[in-house]
Chain A
Amino acid sequence: MLKYVLRRLLYIVVVFLIASVLLFTLYKSVPGDPARMMLEGSKTSMKPEEYEARYQDAVKKLGLDKPIVVQYFTWLLNTLKGDFGYSLTYKMPVRQMIGVPMKNTIMLNVWSLIPVFAITIPLGIATAVRRNTKFDSTVQVVTIIGYSLPFFVIALLFIFLFAVKLPIFPISGVQTPALRGTPMRMFFDKMYHMALPLLVMVFTSLGGLTRYVRATMIEALSMDYIRTARAKGLNEKVVIYSHAFRNALIPFITIMTGWFISIFSGSVVIERTFLWNGMGKVIIDALNQQDFAVSLAMVMFYLVLSLIGNLLMDLSYGFADPRVKLD
């Protein structure tokens, strides 16, 4: 077990290094001089000599005068230490800049988890149990439509219905600008702004997840132990919820890991559509502003997150299912 974990950790390190070399090469191939971009605003207010001196300072500070291999290792070390570089647009360290968006994204995602699971699990079980009935095929078609529709189409539709035609919710934003008040009021204001993106996130997740629950449940219901349970005359409810569902939960771990990652990463499309100041929007803004240090840091962050997520998934499989052997 310990050997397995160590081997996986080693593997994560190797993958991380390979990916970091690739991403760093990509980052370095970006046209444009970061040192000049750093001084962009103050260009006109300085004398040429002063500007040149400042420029040289900036080059030194960013380490651009050193050979590219040294630059890579400096960058890698800094990243590992948690120093993700300097955002040129926000004029502050990436780590500091990312705090608020991260909080917003986590909040949105965590809140969306509850309704998603509360709806999809019962619905998935119900369709699996009533397989090949009219109810099942209706839900199947509805869920195909649900997961085939692009996120932004659903988002636009919801904005149109619930913010334009029936002006219940605000169209976009995280909170009312310049709102001051009690923490309670601030919280409610935030929830009010979050309602529509939340609704869209829940709606878009329903289709895929319901189908997944249904598939795992059908798989579980076709097992021999279910036949045994039924043969010995167990109540159908007990068969479904106690025998089948608990076993159907095992593949569910995969989905949970996906959620674990997306809690931090945020949906680019939804955050862009609702102008929700989260991680996804930070990436878009960074790319639009040519602020590649930020986007690079974000991708590295996602990579580590998903590698760790994969490891956790495999480990939890081992814990949840005694049949799975980790080696």
Chain B
Amino acid sequence: MAKRTYGSHFFDVLKSLFFGRRTATLSIFEEEQVQSPYRTMLRNFRQNWSAMLGLYVFFAIFLAVFILPLFFPLDLQFQDPTQKNTKPTLSYMKYAKEISGNVVSIDQGSVYGLGVGSDGVIRQWGTLTPKLQNLPQINAKVIQVSAGLDHALALDENGKVYTWGNDRFMLSNIPPQVQSSRVKQVLAGHQISLALTEDGRIFFWGNTNLINIPIPEERQGSFSKISANTTLAVALTTQGEAVTLSSRETPFSYIPQEIQGSIVDVAITERSAAAVTDDGVIHVWGGDDYGVQQVPSLAQGNAIAVSAGRGHFTALLSDGSVVSWGRNNYKQSKAPKLNNIVGITSSYFQNYAIDADGKIHSWGLKGYLMGTDQYGRDLLTRLLSGGRVTLTIGAIAVIISAFIGIILGAFSGYYGGKPDMLIMRIAEVVNAIPFLPLAMILSAIIGSRISETGRISMIMVILGLLSWPPLARLVRGQMLAAREQEFVTAAKAMGITELKIIFKHILPNVITVILVNLTLSFALCMLYESSLSYLGFGVNEPNATWGNMLYGCNDSTVMANYAWRWIFPAIALSLATVSINMVGDGMRDAIDPKTNDR
């Protein structure tokens, strides 16, 4: 037997497609004579620039959606209303250059930052609403700023309070008592503003229907610091006691009694509170989400101040270094090694640390490369994980349909007669019913009774079960032509079993045509899956696919104001299907001898 020529085997072709081909100098006669059909196909394919481009693009998408989710894992349960519909930017912590080196006060709002330098002028960065950009006229030097969800507060050197940004819920109406007294601390919360006066009284205004902060009258006059989250506030008194300001009993109320009287600083996240006592020990109470109760041991005994974001704490230690712990989904508790720090500010998912020279160090969420959706979820991670789901569903649906189509088509074409008739009639019925309506009905009827994972498998099976007829017909046609050829007769004469003839002798001869069909129907299955999900009958929330990320995006508000929510998934889906179709088309041209003008 002759030595196997390189390129004569299908897998050699695949290998050389991606890893380049072995270069061997052949004389012109050899080249003409020794070239196997696969090799001719490969050459044709490689000369087709659009097919090669499609191959590279698809390969890039494939790698991206299967490897990148390992680095950007999708947390299906994650939602954050404060981060909803934010536009693509990475500027949340790009603080103004002017305040670096002389910063007096700095704070982070939901999607923007706010700072003031020694010149007393307010600087803002990040995603600013038009109302936020409209800064108030301030003649005195500003000494403190606070950023909330979508409004901000500033305090000038005369103790006067200013507010700008969102002006609904009476946020712009600063109470007269605040106007008339010297204010020590301002705090902009979630649709609410708080002010602490020099004489230790707390005032609040804003959306009091949403958040009510009852302040015990007997304590008024003794407060020295306040910290707030989206539901309540905790205040510190001059006697070193923490007071929970809430009308309901919450986990925040269970302040450890032994620390009352010795607290020097307090901060609260959404679910838990932390206090630093005068011996430098940090006590955390409330919930234990994201491991906030596991205070790093090097902080215990050394802490002098603590600050909190939505789910993490940062503590300033007596040696001037900082330590963060708690929630780390946006790397907000991955504090860098710093020293000489004198002040810390944490808020939402960001931290700022100010050193003795007034320089700013920051860590946490920089922003979203592709923006966020209506639940505040990062679109990039959803896009990557969604791509993985979309590609997997498409691939498995194609495998199912290939399995059914090849087997039924092969038997039907090889045996003919009654089985052929029966199979082809079934294929016709399946093909006759419009695809999307039937798939929608199946999904609506079956899908209401199974889990979300079951639903994904169901979509694969439905797509596979409904898309086999064209392939079966193709295989049947190829079989009909092949079964009359000499090599089949020879195989029969040698007494080879029919199964072996079908799958070992005939099928390899038609595999290229089948592969082209499978490639094209892979794109089609992806399209069907995303159409189903787009219509709400495919994969549902919270799972992401490229189709269901577009669900509800035909809304005029989304269209006009949140374009990033549909543009990125649409681009990803289009790129994937176009590139697969280009590859399939190139393959078809490559194997079709008619287009081979030699």
Contact = CB atoms under 8 A, between A and B. Distances in A.
A34 B531 CA distance: 29
Interface in B406-441: 425, 428-429, 432-434, 436-438, 440-441
A268 B437 contact: yes
Contacts of A326: none
A26 B554 contact: no
A268 B440 contact: yes
A109 interface: no
B570 interface: yes
A163 B554 CA distance: 11
Contact of B559 (A26, A140, A151, A171): A171
Contacts of A141: 50, 582
A162 to B, nearest CB: 11
Interface in A10-31: 11, 15, 18-19, 26, 29-31
Interface string A123-143: 000000000100001001100
Given A302-B434, A303-B433, A153 B570 contact: yes
B449 A269 contact: no
B563 A149 contact: no
A283 B440 contact: yes
B537 A287 contact: yes
A310 interface: yes
Nearest to B444: A287
B401 to A, nearest CB: 19
A157 B441 CA distance: 28
Interface in A120-177: 132, 137, 140-141, 144-145, 147-153, 155-157, 159-160, 163-164, 171-172
B530 A150 contact: yes
B372 to A, nearest CB: 19
A38 to B, nearest CB: 19
B391 to A, nearest CB: 15
Given A26-B441, A144-B50, A149 B578 contact: yes
A307 interface: yes
Contact of A159 (B428, B448, B554, B574): B554
B581 interface: yes
Contacts of A31: 448-449
B30 to A, nearest CB: 28
Contacts of A171: 554, 556, 559
A272 B425 CA distance: 32
Nearest to B560: A164
Interface in B479-514: none
A295 B445 CA distance: 11
A58 interface: no
Contacts of B597: 132
A284 B440 contact: yes
Given A148-B578, A283-B440, A157 B433 contact: no
Contacts of A113: none
Nearest to A32: B448
Interface in B444-502: 444-445, 448-449
Interface size class of B (residues with CB under 8 A): 35 or more
Given A287-B537, A303-B432, A144 B559 contact: no
A288 B536 contact: yes
A152 B563 CA distance: 15
Contacts of A152: 530-531, 534, 550, 554
Contacts of B432: 15, 303, 306-307, 310
A283 B438 CA distance: 10
Given A15-B428, A172-B554, A273-B554, A150 B577 contact: yes
Contact of A302 (B433, B536, B537, B581): B433
Interface residues of A, number: 55
B52 interface: no
A107 interface: no
A292 interface: yes
Interface string B573-597: 1100110111001000000001001
A29 B574 contact: no
Given A147-B581, A150-B531, A19 B429 contact: yes
Contact of B574 (A137, A153, A261, A310): A153
Contacts of B434: 261, 265, 299, 302, 306
A299 B560 contact: no
Nearest to B554: A273
B573 A153 contact: yes
Nearest to B526: A150
B574 A151 contact: no
Contacts of B92: none
A150 B573 contact: yes
Nearest to A26: B445
Contacts of B531: 150-152, 268-269
B96 interface: no
Contacts of A156: 550, 553-554, 559, 566, 570
B535 interface: yes
A298 interface: yes
Choose among A153, A171, A172, A273 the residue with the greatest number of B CB atoms under 10 Å from its CB.
A153
B527 interface: yes
A310 B578 contact: no
A292 B445 CA distance: 9
Interface in B388-403: none
A77 to B, nearest CB: 21
B341 interface: no
Interface string B199-221: 00000000000000000000000
B553 A18 contact: no
A294 B75 CA distance: 39
Interface in A201-226: 222
A269 B429 CA distance: 23
Contacts of A310: 428, 432
> Counting chain A CB atoms within 10 Å of each CB, which of B531, B534, B577, B582 scores highest?
B534
Given A149-B574, A151-B531, A287-B440, A19 B433 contact: yes
B292 interface: no
A321 B536 CA distance: 44
Contacts of B433: 19, 299, 302-303, 306
Interface of A: 11, 15, 18-19, 26, 29-31, 132, 137, 140-141, 144-145, 147-153, 155-157, 159-160, 163-164, 171-172, 222, 261, 265, 268-269, 272-275, 280, 283-284, 287-288, 290, 292, 295-296, 298-299, 302-303, 306-307, 310
7 contacts: A26-B441, A149-B577, A150-B527, A150-B531, A268-B535, A269-B535, A275-B554
Top-7 shortest CB links A-B: A148-B578, A148-B581, A306-B432, A148-B577, A287-B444, A153-B570, A273-B554
Given A15-B432, A275-B554, 12 more contacts: A31-B448, A149-B574, A150-B574, A151-B531, A155-B554, A268-B436, A273-B554, A295-B440, A299-B433, A299-B441, A302-B433, A303-B429
